[in-house]
Structure 1
C-alpha cells in the first residue's frame, strides 16, 4: 500500500513540476524572436520602405515598416506575422500586396526585432490597436485590410472584432492557441496554464467585415480542419480557400495561393439574386414506385 501511495505522490509532484515549468517557460516555447540592433538598416530589393517607431503608454517601442506600392495606393494592408524571427525576414512577403497597389505595414511584436517591452497577450493587443489607430489617421477604415498569418491570425481577428476594416484575411489560423497546444500536451490543464489562449473562435463571431480564410490541406502544425471550424462561426461573411497540398510555411510557393490573393484583393464581391437559383429546391428522399 505504501508503495502505491509513494508512486502516486511522485507522479503528482512530477505533474505539478511540469505544469509550473510550462507556465513560466511558455514564452520561450511559443515565441522565437530574432533581435536586431537599433542601427540595423532594412533593405529589400525593388521595395521602397519607411521605418517607424511607436512609443506605447508603458514606454515600450514598437518598430515597424511601411512598404510602398508603385503608383497610386488602393489602401493599406496591416500584416501581422507569425511567432518567429523579425520583420527583417517577413518583409519579403510584402511584395504579394504592393504588387496589387497596396501599402503594407508590418510590425514586430514586443521582444522581436527592434521592438521593446514586456510581452503579454494584453500588451500585444493594446500595441496593435495603437498601430491601427495610427493607420486610421491617414487612411479610412474602408481601405484597411487586416492580414493575420499563423500566430498573427488571432491578433488580426481581435482587431477586426473591435474595429471596422474593409476585410479580414486569415492565413493558416488556429481555432485557439489552447487547442493547438492541447494536441501536444493532452493531459495538461492548459486552460489554466496558457498565458496566450488567443481564442480566435470567440472574436470571429463579432467581425462584421468580409472574412477570407486561407489554409493548406497538408498543414501538420495547425490542421486544415481548424479553418473549417472557423469558417462555420460567421458563415455569411466567411469564405474558405484551400491550398491543396499546402503545408504551414509554404503557401507562398503555390500558384493557387497567389491566384486566391488576386481574387480576394481585386475582385469586388457580387450580390447574388438567390430567388433565381435552386436554393429552395429540395431533393426528394422518397423512392418512386415502379408502375406494374
Structure 2
C-alpha cells in the first residue's frame, strides 16, 4: 500500500472518530447544568416569589420560579436563560423587570436545577410552548414579553414566531448554533452532526411583534456582528441596542444596559407618517443650473 494512501486512510478514520465523538458529546459541551435536589429551598433577598412545577406529557417535570413586583403587575416576562447553572443563580436578574412592575417567570430546561426529562431541541421547544400556553391562560398576549438570553435567545425567537407576544427581547443572540460551533470546528460536517442547530435567523422571519436585540460590542463568545446580521432578517420590526464595551456575561454591570431595558419595556412605539420626512428626497451630485 502506498504511503500516501496509508496516511489518507488514517486521516479518514480520525475524521470519522472525531465526528462521532462530537455527535455524542455535544450535550456535555453545550449544556453546563447545575442540578438541585427536589427539596432545595430557593431564597432571594427582598424578592417576592413562588415556585411552580409543570408536568409534561412524557412524564418530565419543568421547574420554574415566578417573581412578583411590589406594585400592580403590568404583565409578565418569560425569561429564557443561558446554557449554564440553574435558576437558583439566574433569579437575581429578575429585579431588572420586577422593578418596572412586571412579573418574571424563569424556568429550568430539562436536566437543569429541579427539572427532569430527556433533553432534545424538540422537547425543549415543546416544553416552552406549554409554559407559554399556561401564561396565556392567565393573561392576554399583549402583556407577555419574551426575553431570551444567549442560548435562550433561539428558543425565545421560536416562541415569538409561533405566538403573538407584546415584544421579543434577545440578549446576546446567535445567528444559529451551527454557525457558533463552526468557529471552533470549521472542517466538520456540523449541519449533519449538530442536534441543536437552533436557527434563530429562520424563526425571526416569522415574528410579528417588535424585536429588540441587545448585544455587547466586546462579546468574544458570540460576536457583536452576529446581532448586526440578525437585525437585517426582519428589519422593519427590529431595533439593535449596542452596549459599548459589553462582553457576553457582564451586560448587567453597564448602566446603559439598564437604561435600554427601561426604554424598551416602558415605551409605546407609534407609527410615523413617513410622507412628511426626507425619506424620498433624492440627492444629486450635479449642481443646479440657474437661468439668467
The question of a shared fold, defined as TM-score above 0.5 by the shorter chain, is answered with yes
Q: What does the per-residue CA deviation read over 1:10-48, in whole Å, with 9 as the maximum and x for residues that have no partner?
A: 000000000000000000000000000100001101101
Distance 2:251 2:91 in 1: 16
- Pair 1:28-2:35 in alignment: no
The residue number in structure 1 matching 2:5 is 5
- Pair 1:191-2:201 in alignment: no
4+ runs deviating over 2 angstroms: 285-289
Contiguous gaps of at least 5 residues in structure 2: none
TM-fit CA distance, 1:287: 6.2
- Pair 1:140-2:140 in alignment: yes
- Pair 1:102-2:84 in alignment: no
The residue number in structure 2 matching 1:59 is 59
TM-fit CA distance, 1:282: 1.9
Distance 2:266 2:40 in 1: 35
TM-fit CA distance, 1:286: 3.8
Distance 2:158 2:286 in 1: 47
Matches within 5 A, 1:38-53: 38-53=38-53
The residue number in structure 2 matching 1:245 is 245
Aligned residues: 290
1:229 match: secondary structure: helix
The residue number in structure 2 matching 1:277 is 277
Distance 1:223 1:80 in 2: 20
Q: What does the per-residue CA deviation read over 1:140-198, in whole Å, with 9 as the maximum and x for residues that have no partner?
A: 10000000000000000000000010000000000000000001110000000000000
The residue number in structure 1 matching 2:267 is 267
Q: What does the per-residue CA deviation read over 1:81-136, in whole Å, with 9 as the maximum and x for residues that have no partner?
A: 00000000000000000000000000000000000000000000000001001111
2:63 match: secondary structure: strand
Q: Higher mean Cα deviation, 58-67 or 229-238?
A: 229-238
1:126 match: secondary structure: helix
TM-fit CA distance, 1:284: 1.5
The residue number in structure 2 matching 1:167 is 167
TM-fit CA distance, 1:269: 0.8
- Pair 1:125-2:105 in alignment: no
The residue number in structure 1 matching 2:256 is 256
Distance 1:35 1:195 in 2: 22
1:161 match: secondary structure: helix
CA-based RMSD of the aligned residues comes to 1.2
Distance 2:288 2:113 in 1: 69
Contiguous gaps of at least 5 residues in structure 1: none
